[in-house]
Structure 1
């Protein structure tokens, strides 16, 4: 996949099928949109995803929200889906003031040679976000592209959106988050050395430090699975500050992987959260923590057995 980042000077050589959006989380609604541009690859078009960097809500100071997916996670997901070109369009005072008409004619038609555009009914672009699907449709014949407005996807009567995913994540409702995303919520990172407490009691954990921009669910213990070297391993994960064994306030994600004994320090893994087990808490001492960890691990084994 070709990634165009940090520049407004680009031009594709072939006709493209384009989808515009923030794509935070790449939930089922996003996936429906992306499915349509990926279908156009069979017609010889390049599948192009157009995003803004930073997102408009961040650029205009309306929010400093953390992301459901980091930039690296999005890139990996888009490439895995089959996207040919990802554009992370730099949002500046100048680029944000482009008129909606200029955005369509100069960027979509001229630079991307768009032959097909898939958009949701709430798509917006151009100065003050004034561009919408009506304008896309109005200029379609003149500029030689087809526009398809993709209906929203609903879950039990409620529209799936990044906001919906965020609210469920904040509650620790990981099963619902999985339904909305079409896959468990993932946290990627490099396995690093922790305080080795788990190793001293025969319960070694793989520790990662999530990106500062990554949105996390409430601190606590989760049933999980780990993607490593193309394989999936069952596990149980703690998100938190290790209040019993450390006074440091560094948020970490540590996972005990069942029946796993390999050295994976400095390797990239993805921890996927399946269900919430219990809240994070401080124990009276390390012995009490060890006993709870043993119970957690046994509960996790039962959870995974039931899912088989």
Structure 2
């Protein structure tokens, strides 16, 4: 697994990072379709370093800032997944008003050619770029060829439901199908965040939890999940998690992710962990009291242990 160098911009790129074969896209989730773009880029020019060009924030976040959070991966997780796929560098191009207004030809010339010194470009067949998405792959090929840059178009990766896409994966998660998201991503979907203090009720009930906010991550279907948790030291621990607003306790204004780690003792407050959704167990529910809630949590934990112990 490669730990890529992350360059947040396209100006003043060090000479050692110029001259790569470039995979381009938003890469939200870095799913198996995105991995095809990286493989195509490497296959086209295996003699060159492999790098990725992506955009931060996601263009949708720039144009529609009031939308509900929808991201599958934020930049650190995205870069790690791209590195795992072989990218030695990730160019995170700031998507701001200036870039949004940049015409397609200027993007190729200033950003890709002069800025990062691309030697070869690869994207999906639906890649669009430039002001008002005015550039398509045909224009990219013409503009790149004029500058001595090769272009390869990666084929779509499809399953029975059609092309794999970030939007389909979001629907899988919002419809409570994390297993389908896992197949499309090539790994379980993970929420990374800092463990924050709660009201310690889980500890009182005998089920202490680590609490995270979703932040800019997509909110999946509310309910109970079998999960695995990646600790700060890299260890992976099984557990059970609830995504919800705690209706039994009167309801919260913000959805939280509460995770009970099996057979674990330790202080995680203030540390970053990753919670990987493995299976959906049941929808969020309101119980008639804390004792009933405690019984339900015990049943959820037993169900999660059974799922996680089952052969893959």
Provide the residue aligned with 2:13 in structure 1: 11
Counterpart of 1:173 (choices 170, 177, 185) is 177
Cα distance change on mapping 1:129 and 1:19 into 2, 3 Å: same
Counterpart of 1:32 (choices 33, 36, 40) is 36
In 2, Cα distance between equivalents of 1:98 and 1:67 = 24
User: What TM-score comes out, normalization by structure 2 length?
Assistant: 0.89
RMSD (Å), alpha carbons: 2.2
1:132-147 mapped onto 2 (5 Å cutoff): 132-147=136-151
Residue 248 of structure 1: SS of its match in structure 2?
Answer: coil
Provide the residue aligned with 1:49 in structure 2: 52
1:48-197 mapped onto 2 (5 Å cutoff): 48-61=51-64, 64=67, 66-197=70-201
Residue 138 of structure 2: SS of its match in structure 1?
Answer: helix
In 2, Cα distance between equivalents of 1:63 and 1:247 = 23
**Structure 1: which 5+ runs fail to align?**
none
Contact 2:37 2:122 in 1 (8 A): yes
Provide the residue aligned with 1:262 in structure 2: 266
Contact 1:209 1:253 in 2 (8 A): yes
Q: Tell me how far 1:77 sits from its aligned partner.
A: 2.5
Residue 227 of structure 2: SS of its match in structure 1?
Answer: strand
Q: Which moved more, 1:297-306 or 1:287-296?
A: 297-306
| Number of residue pairs matched by the alignment | 305
Q: Which moved more, 1:288-297 or 1:45-54?
A: 45-54
Q: Tell me how far 1:150 sits from its aligned partner.
A: 0.4
Counterpart of 1:238 (choices 236, 239, 242) is 242
Q: Tell me how far 1:63 sits from its aligned partner.
A: 7.7
Q: Tell me how far 1:247 sits from its aligned partner.
A: 4.3
1:268-296 alpha-carbon deviations (Å, 9 max, x no partner) = 21110011111111111100000111111
In 2, Cα distance between equivalents of 1:287 and 1:225 = 26
Q: Tell me how far 1:19 sits from its aligned partner.
A: 1.8
In 2, Cα distance between equivalents of 1:54 and 1:168 = 23
Contact 2:195 2:268 in 1 (8 A): yes
Residue 24 of structure 1: SS of its match in structure 2?
Answer: coil
Q: Tell me how far 1:197 sits from its aligned partner.
A: 1.8
User: What TM-score comes out, normalization by structure 1 length?
Assistant: 0.90
Q: Tell me how far 1:62 sits from its aligned partner.
A: 9.3
**Structure 2: which 5+ runs fail to align?**
none
